[in-house]
Amino acid sequence: MRKLHCSDEMMAAACAEIAAGLTDADLGSNLYKKRIPIEGRGKSGGLRTIIASRFNGRWFILAIWAKSDLVNIPSDQLRCLKQQTVLLLELEDAAIEKLIANGSLVQILDESSTTQGV
């Protein structure tokens, strides 16, 4: 797949929309599918994301892809994402900080923001 541009602001907006109940799909296990617009194409021709959250200020962006590359995520990959979600959402703050420090997770917004993603 090709490299995609998705800014922190775009991800924050997607998380805020999910928090407001505007999801494209509730995939179960605290996992949500959300469309993100691409300039000139809108949301329907834009990016797709899989985001995990318990709505406690922590948001995990697990996958981003262009609709033109993949219409839907395969069921075997969705199962893996659900398993990852269970593990990620159980992490304590100290464990998340270590994962950010070693580069396994990337923090996209700081704690002063209303929505924080890693």
pLDDT tens, position by position, 30-71:
999 999 987 666 666 689 999 999 988 889 999 998 877 887
Q: At a CB cut-off of 8 Å and minimum separation 6, what does 78 contact?
A: 27
Summarize pLDDT for 18-35 with one digit per residue, the tens.
999 999 999 999 999 999
> Helix or strand or coil: residue 83?
helix
Summarize pLDDT for 61-115 with one digit per residue, the tens.
999 988 778 878 889 999 999 999 999 999 999 999 999 999 999 988 654 455 4
Q: Quote the CA–CA distance of 62 and 6 in Å, as a whole number.
A: 13
Supply the pTM of this predicted model: 0.81
Place of tokens 């703050």: 93
Query: Which tokens hold the place of 30?
Result: 């605290």
Q: Quote the CA–CA distance of 63 and 48 in Å, as a whole number.
A: 8
Query: Which tokens hold the place of 70?
Result: 């993949």
Domain ranges of the chain: 8-102
